[in-house]
Amino acid sequence: MDTYKIVQGKKLRCGYTTGSCAAAAAKAAARMLFTGMPVAIVRLMTPRGIGLELEPEEVSIGPDRVTCAIRKDSGDDPDITDGMLVFATVEKTGEGIRLCGGPGVGRVTRDGLSCPKGGPAINPTPRRMIEEAVRREAQRAGYTGGLVVTISIPGGETLAARTFNPRLGIEGGLSVLGTSGIVDPMSEQALIDTIHTEMNSRKADGVRHLLAFFGNYGVDFSRDVLHLDVSQRVTCSNYVGELLDYAVYKGFEDVLLIGHTGKLIKLAMGIMNTHSLYADGRMEFMALQAMLCGAGRDTGRRIYECTTTDTAIEILIEAQLLGPVMTAAAGKIQYYMDQRVHGEIRCGAMMFSNRYGVLAQTPRAEELLAFHQKEKAE
């Protein structure tokens, strides 16, 4: 593809995700199934609004079943899946659209992930893209029966061992990922520079009360549930420490960080880079704090062995300890944020779960939240 980003003075080419590959392969296979004719180029519109024109490879056409592949292109981003073929097999069946995982696509073995337990590790956005693509092809052909779509990534099982999938309970292959459909070539320093640039822009616009998020989950929750104006937000990704440092440097009056439990709970351990490559600490904190609040050893062990924070929260609810543990977490998060800014600006955090809503607020969060609610009202 010919979309580029400037990173550290270099022009780097963007790529497209495994999700886009799977959707494009499924679209091409469905069209060939209904027409019986080869497809030279398949066009796909990504969720970001960037159109792709991709070439199906290794095409096999039968009367009731078609298979083809799209080759993954990660652009200039270092990605272990670059160059791999992502296959889709589309075949006719009774009714409905059923999505399956073939060889090289991981299987979800634990609760709490974005994909159902026991099913293929195909994330919600790629799943929607695939289903919409084949449904449109069926409608275009006037076909009213059902379809089975099987996504496969040859070699995925071997590569998956080099990812975090085994730790997450995804076995046997890779995950089909992507929320935008596009791979951005971004180095760590380039991302930090982008955060700083965004903060510079907010400061230049006269923003005094900084509203920050890790990513889209927090933005969506704050807009849809808390009804905040998120148009002047800053996205810090995993770099909470850099966010707070630069907020002090630029002279913001305060920072309110709103984040999902899976990220924000790490701050209760003093972890200021929340990428799992550097540190985790989620279950360690929740298990220890539960035991300090009266949980038995078995309950602590169950929490410690959880993969996701939502699963750990279920255990805390069962033990009637969610409130005390979240209160303790909020206090620790406030302590470490204050330590990072040396008391020079006010800061606070709000922690939420998509399943359980707001779980905790640090002592200053309510005051800081009021600034943003007032600004929206005005």
Same domain, 244 and 347: yes
Please say if the pLDDT value at position 195 is more than 90. Answer: no
Same domain, 40 and 144: yes
Tokens of 238: 């995993």
Tokens of 280: 């985790």
Non-local (6+) Cβ contacts of 158 within 8 A are none
Non-local (6+) Cβ contacts of 294 within 8 A are 321
Over 203-245, what HEC string results? Answer: HHCCCCEEEEECCHHHHHHHHHCCCCCCCCCEECCCEHHHHHH
pLDDT band at 193 (very low <50, low <70, confident <90, very high): confident
Whole-number Å distance between alpha carbons of 119 and 106: 9
Report, as an integer, the average pLDDT of 265-294: 94
Same domain, 209 and 287: yes
Contact assessment for residue 29 and residue 88, using Cβ atoms and an 8 Å cutoff: yes
Q: Given this model, what pLDDT does residue 112 score?
A: 62
Domain boundary (132, 150, 183) is at: 183
Instruction: Return mean pLDDT, the chain.
Output: 91
Q: Given this model, what pLDDT does residue 184 score?
A: 73
Please write the tens of the pLDDT for every residue from 26-42: 999 999 999 999 999 99
Cβ atoms < 10 Å from Cβ of 363: 13
Pairing of strands 234-235, 146-152: unpaired
Amino acid at 174: L
Domain boundary (183, 199, 229) is at: 183
Please write the tens of the pLDDT for every residue from 346-368: 999 999 998 999 999 999 999 99
Backbone angles phi, psi at 170, to 5 degrees: -110, 115
Same domain, 168 and 235: no
Same domain, 176 and 193: no
Q: Given this model, what pLDDT does residue 131 score?
A: 97
Whole-number Å distance between alpha carbons of 116 and 252: 42
Report, as an integer, the average pLDDT of 260-282: 93
Higher pLDDT, 374 or 276: 276
Domain boundary (183, 214, 247) is at: 183
Report, as an integer, the average pLDDT of 241-259: 96
Please say if the pLDDT value at position 7 is more than 60. Answer: no
Q: Given this model, what pLDDT does residue 179 score?
A: 81
Which of 8-17, 149-158, 172-181, 253-262 shows the lowest per-residue confidence on average (mean pLDDT)?
Answer: 8-17
Q: Indicate which CATH number applies to the domain containing 73.
A: 3.30.2110.10
Contact assessment for residue 263 and residue 243, using Cβ atoms and an 8 Å cutoff: no
Same domain, 164 and 203: no
Same domain, 88 and 199: no
Same domain, 173 and 55: yes
Higher pLDDT, 223 or 6: 223
pTM: 0.58
Q: Given this model, what pLDDT does residue 76 score?
A: 79
Whole-number Å distance between alpha carbons of 338 and 303: 28
Same domain, 176 and 292: no
Contacts 24+ apart (CB under 8 A), 225-229: 225/352, 225/357, 226/258, 226/369, 227/376, 228/372, 228/373, 228/376, 229/372, 229/375, 229/376
Same domain, 278 and 176: no
Whole-number Å distance between alpha carbons of 66 and 262: 40
Contact assessment for residue 243 and residue 234, using Cβ atoms and an 8 Å cutoff: yes
Count of domains forming the chain? 2
Q: What is the CA radius of gyration of the chain?
A: 23
Range(s) of the domain holding residue 344: 188-377
Same domain, 173 and 230: no
Could you tell me the sign of the dihedral formed by the alpha carbons of 164, 170, 172, 173, in that order? negative
Q: Given this model, what pLDDT does residue 165 score?
A: 78
Same domain, 165 and 216: no
